[in-house]
Amino acid sequence: MDLIAHILLFIFSFLILFFSSSFLIESLKKISRFLKWKEFVVSFFTIAIATTIPNLVVDVISALNKVSILAFGDVVGTNICSLTLIIGLSAIISKAGLSVPSRTVQGSAIFTILVAVLPLLLALDGNLNRIDGILLLSAFLFYLSWLFQKRERFEKVYDKDVGSQNIKSFLKHVLFFIFSAVLLYLAGRQIVNSAIFFSKYFYLDLGIIGILIVGFGNALPELSFTLQAARKSQDWFIVGDVMGSVILTATLVLGSVVLISPIENLELSPFFIARIFLLISALFFLVFIKTGKKITAREGYFLVLIYFIFLTFEILTQIWLK
């Protein structure tokens, strides 16, 4: 009975997480229009932060519950999903592929890949301590300083032709944002509780649950947003969101988690397959971005295939270990 209850609560919590994240993203977009934020800021920060909030909520709650390993698995799993399934499906739906001629995107691509694998490098000694957390947060601050160096990146105003909005409408969206954030917190707390229960019930490592289930679930809001953007051919929005999301989860989110609750005696064997596929995903993402400054539909299919191969290997490995 406990198992069925936890499964239902787990699914229900992810549904709340998905819809509240969607509301939060829409609220932030409306707030961005009212404040006349720049297109670049909306893409790389506003939306990336909004789609990363589920990770931040779930992972910080994990840290507060002294199960930071769940957060580590979530970060790895989410970033694999972002660099393969999300960007791949977006390229397929966009038909003409994702065009990425921007110098900012090209430069950010290299940093994105380096940051994506940074947690793996820091964890090689079997620990992620507070010094590692400071290094991750420093990498995030370094990226911010690099982005803000050139003013021309902020010239174009996001959705400037939508018409004026009154202060009443603005305040309504702020309230929606706060309400969505509260729902996110409640859903995140239940997801962590259920993940701990599943780990004990099925004798699974919490890191594996983070990689396969929590990581994918937390990526759903980002997947929904990028697919909508792909239908509108908003290539800059998609690539900016994905890269911003990868950077935020690997630095700001994981760095915050490790500062709250360091991961000691980290057993890396459950992450063997995930580490390999994160490196493969990062490599092909960078190659596709750099060749022709475009991710084609064919390359999108290849990235999606990588994700499903990864899932197959992970699931078969867990079955074999049992």
User: Does the model's pTM come out above 0.85?
Assistant: yes
Angle at 133 between CA 24 and CA 200, to 5 degrees: 75
pLDDT at 322: 63
pLDDT at 41: 60
Query: Is residue 17 over pLDDT 90?
Result: no
Q: Stretch 276-281: mean pLDDT, rounded?
A: 96
Q: Look at strands 98-99 and 294-295 and give their pairing.
A: antiparallel
pLDDT band at residue 250, thresholds of 50, 70 and 90? very high
pLDDT at 98: 87
pLDDT: is 225 or 315 the higher one? Answer: 315
Angle at 149 between CA 145 and CA 150, to 5 degrees: 150
Domains of the chain are 2-321 (1.20.1420.30)
The two tokens of residue 134 are 């400071």
Query: Is residue 32 over pLDDT 80?
Result: no
Cβ neighbours of 292 (radius 10 Å):
13
pLDDT band at residue 113, thresholds of 50, 70 and 90? very high
Q: Name, in order, each residue with C-beta under 8 angstroms of 213's C-beta and a sequence gap of 6 or more.
A: 195, 198
Task: Please answer whether residues 113 and 285 qualify as being in contact, where contact means their C-beta atoms are separated by less than 8 angstroms.
Answer: yes
Cβ neighbours of 103 (radius 10 Å):
11
pLDDT: is 60 or 107 the higher one? Answer: 60
Query: Is residue 88 over pLDDT 90?
Result: yes
Q: Name, in order, each residue with C-beta under 8 angstroms of 264's C-beta and a sequence gap of 6 or more.
A: 127, 129
pLDDT at 253: 95
